[in-house]
Structure 1
Amino acid sequence: MKTIRASIIGFGAVGQGVAKVLLDKRDYLRGIGIDMKVIAIADSRTAVVDAQGVDLASALSRKKETGAVGSDTISGTEIIRTVDHELVIETTPTNIETGGVGLVNMMAAFERGMDVVTSNKGPLALKYGEVMAAAKSSGSYCRFEATVGGAMPVINLACDVLAGNRMISMEGIFNGTCNYILSRMMEEQAPYEQMLAEAQELGIAEKDPSYDVEGIDTASKLVIVANSIFGMNVSYKDVTVTGITRITPEALSLANADGFAIKLIGEVNDSRINVAPKLVPLSHPLAVGGTLNVFSVQTDLAGPITITGRGAGSIETASAILSDIISIYRN
């Protein structure tokens, strides 16, 4: 049995989802030879540290009841730099301007030779090459399936399952908020503002939805795909981005009458990295509705491969983090 000491840095929806999944899958993990011991958890203001293992159920309960995971004031970065453990599960919020504390945390982990599994898009969208070089230099693993497709396995599908294939092109829907709004605008023949308000009421869209509806989230994910799957060396600034805010019910109706849906599509090939609303035939695999995401890749050996899944959600994203943890330590 291999004991892995881990920290969870960031204890919002995703971090709490990771704690729940690790609790639920404890026996499964032990059955494949992995004894996961979370020795520290940090949220934005507080932390709890226990070298013998944090009680995850109690941590979740405290967070729900008080809004704080613990009483310690040590920061997540300090935990990484001073507390002995092997794995940093980095789930702090994405900062697309600078990479934020997530970038600091990841680099601090690599400086100590620690492995990182993350859901944080910012560091990889801005400085993918730098992050991966730091991981390689320290002999650390850096896994990031959760940054792109949530529960939908994009990175692992292309890099592991389809190993040996050359990736020719990729296109997909990578933002469930946009897909929900466009689907509902068509169904209700309602304007963008009304369906955005509905999405916000349901918790599908944030209070400030610009990150999603202006295509920034999709562009960030596209950069990670371009670099990790297609071997490019690009950053967020290299993506041409158009969001969905100017799409009208009339445009959706006209498209539908001709047998098309309008979807926010991200695409990568040799000549372009682009995010924009596109006409998609209603019979096409990309024409999924609601909050679903879809990823379609064209390969030289396997041909076209398309998968659909939930691109967001606390437990769904945690499932991708769990998959990455298992891929590192099972062997």
Structure 2
Amino acid sequence: MIMNSRKVQILEINGDPMKIIILGFGAVGQGVARVLSVKKDYLKKKYGLNPSIVAVGDRSGAAINPDGLDEELLLKTKEKTGKISSFPEYGIPGVESINILDEVEYDCLVEVTPTDIHDGEPARSHMIKAMEDGKDVVTSNKGPLALSFQELATTAQSNSVEFKFEASVGGAMPIINFAHETLAGCSIESIFGILNGTTNYILSRMANEGSSYEQTLSEAQELGIAETDPYQDVEGIDAACKIVILANSVLNLPATLKDVEVEGISRITAESIALAKKEGMLIKLIGEASPDTLEVSPRLVRQGSPLAVEGTLNLATLKTDLADEVTVVGKGAGSVETASAILSDIISVWKVRK
């Protein structure tokens, strides 16, 4: 293959690092550090991408080094002390996350602070500031997207920055980029599917074991599949946030969380599931987005259909004009799984910027 001189010049320039700030260093933030560490040689060889984490923030403060922080030491520090501000030499206790964005030069913000569905903060403010400062943003944070998607998208556009959020819907399930890139020639008419792994696990176990909702929820909590406070999952709020994101990003519908009709699974009984099974059906929590419907609710699906996935899997079907129905399936949660989607967005940003 003959490579032109301009391409050679670009590859030489690509030795410069892509400087990344990670705000939030819980499971997902740590997953991002882990995949960047594991994939460092792969990213450099395949894409000419040399990611460098120059700052990390959590509730304790920050770790900042303009020359880059060691990913493995970040993970060890968090595991050992629970505080990123304890990072040797470069730890700074007490600094506010938003102030970190002024402390070091960077190219891309990875915003993975805890989700807040009431006002979207502090993630919303982090993202707006980064965009207004001319920085690209990658996030898995559903809260601000479900409440302020149009504001965020407009701010990104007006400041000519990349705004990526594949990990905000379905973890490792590739739906947003899939819709925009693989199905680029299709008009997408609607999206429906299973968008919450916790509820799918509970309903699957109830169907297979004949157990009660309360018993199965308790089991899921013991296994770490359900949160100590499972309200957002079991009452359909988490899935509703994802429906809003899909409505805005894929269907171009200017929706917010208040526009979604929501019913969860807490009233589903073992008896109702057993009755459905006798009829060859299963009960699943289904989210749907279309120009006529924004809804999350328990629905009957036929056994053996694509929607009959079990465990914590997520699934989404996109109804199109040219390709009919296209279905994607993937793990909807998990530190490394969600980080894999964030990494794909980081690579997308890099391809635009290099």
TM-score tier (shorter): over 0.9
In 2, the alpha carbon distance for the partners of 1:59 and 1:82 equals: 18
In 1, the alpha carbon distance for the partners of 2:57 and 2:195 equals: 28
Q: 2:261 — aligned with what?
A: 240
Q: 1:53 — aligned with what?
A: 68
In 2, the alpha carbon distance for the partners of 1:43 and 1:210 equals: 24
Task: Deviation per CA, 1:39-73: give whole Å up to 9, x if none.
Answer: 00111112100011011111110100000112313
Could you tell me whether the CA contact under 8 Å between 2:203 and 2:284 is conserved in 1?
Answer: yes
Q: 2:32 aligns with which of 18, 35, 39?
A: 18
Could you tell me whether the CA contact under 8 Å between 1:96 and 1:122 is conserved in 2?
Answer: yes
In 2, the alpha carbon distance for the partners of 1:111 and 1:82 equals: 16
| Residue 217 of structure 1, CA deviation | 0.1
- What SS does structure 2 have at the residue aligned with 1:323? helix
Task: Deviation per CA, 1:202-257: give whole Å up to 9, x if none.
Answer: 00000000010000000000000000000000100000000000000110011011
| Residue 81 of structure 1, CA deviation | 2.9
Task: Deviation per CA, 1:287-311: give whole Å up to 9, x if none.
Answer: 1011111010110011110011100
In 2, the alpha carbon distance for the partners of 1:34 and 1:146 equals: 20
- Residue 208 of structure 2 corresponds to residue 183 of structure 1: no
Task: Deviation per CA, 1:152-187: give whole Å up to 9, x if none.
Answer: 001011111100210111110010000000111111
Identity across the alignment (%): 50
- What SS does structure 2 have at the residue aligned with 1:52? coil
Q: 1:41 — aligned with what?
A: 56
* Paired residue type of 2:31: G
Superposed CA RMSD in Å reads: 0.8
- Residue 331 of structure 2 corresponds to residue 316 of structure 1: no
In 2, the alpha carbon distance for the partners of 1:252 and 1:97 equals: 33
Q: 1:230 — aligned with what?
A: 251
In 1, the alpha carbon distance for the partners of 2:19 and 2:155 equals: 21
- What SS does structure 2 have at the residue aligned with 1:190? coil
Q: 1:7 aligns with which of 21, 25, 32?
A: 21
Could you tell me whether the CA contact under 8 Å between 2:253 and 2:291 is conserved in 1?
Answer: no
Q: 2:285 aligns with which of 257, 264, 268?
A: 264
Could you tell me whether the CA contact under 8 Å between 1:43 and 1:69 is conserved in 2?
Answer: yes
Q: 2:100 aligns with which of 58, 73, 79?
A: 79
In 2, the alpha carbon distance for the partners of 1:110 and 1:124 equals: 14
Q: Larger Cα Rg: Structure 1 or Structure 2?
A: 2
> Which sits farther off after the overlay, 234-243 or 104-113?
104-113
In 1, the alpha carbon distance for the partners of 2:28 and 2:140 equals: 8
| Residue 82 of structure 1, CA deviation | 3.3
Could you tell me whether the CA contact under 8 Å between 2:192 and 2:317 is conserved in 1?
Answer: yes
- Residue 92 of structure 2 corresponds to residue 67 of structure 1: no
In 1, the alpha carbon distance for the partners of 2:18 and 2:161 equals: 14
TM-score by length of 1: 0.99
- Residue 191 of structure 2 corresponds to residue 131 of structure 1: no
In 1, the alpha carbon distance for the partners of 2:154 and 2:280 equals: 47
Could you tell me whether the CA contact under 8 Å between 2:62 and 2:84 is conserved in 1?
Answer: yes
* Paired residue type of 2:136: D
Q: 1:170 — aligned with what?
A: 191
1:63-212 maps to which residues of 2 (within 5 A)? 63-70=78-85, 71-72=91-92, 73-212=94-233
In 2, the alpha carbon distance for the partners of 1:239 and 1:40 equals: 37
Could you tell me whether the CA contact under 8 Å between 1:292 and 1:309 is conserved in 2?
Answer: yes
In 1, the alpha carbon distance for the partners of 2:330 and 2:348 equals: 20
In 2, the alpha carbon distance for the partners of 1:163 and 1:222 equals: 20
Task: Deviation per CA, 1:181-205: give whole Å up to 9, x if none.
Answer: 0111111211111000000000000
* Paired residue type of 1:87: C
In 2, the alpha carbon distance for the partners of 1:152 and 1:83 equals: 33
* Paired residue type of 1:11: F
Q: 2:237 aligns with which of 211, 216, 219?
A: 216
* Paired residue type of 1:119: S
In 1, the alpha carbon distance for the partners of 2:337 and 2:133 equals: 30
Could you tell me whether the CA contact under 8 Å between 2:23 and 2:29 is conserved in 1?
Answer: yes
In 1, the alpha carbon distance for the partners of 2:339 and 2:119 equals: 24
In 2, the alpha carbon distance for the partners of 1:162 and 1:82 equals: 40
Could you tell me whether the CA contact under 8 Å between 2:123 and 2:141 is conserved in 1?
Answer: yes
In 1, the alpha carbon distance for the partners of 2:190 and 2:131 equals: 32
- What SS does structure 2 have at the residue aligned with 1:40? strand
Q: 1:30 aligns with which of 19, 44, 56?
A: 44
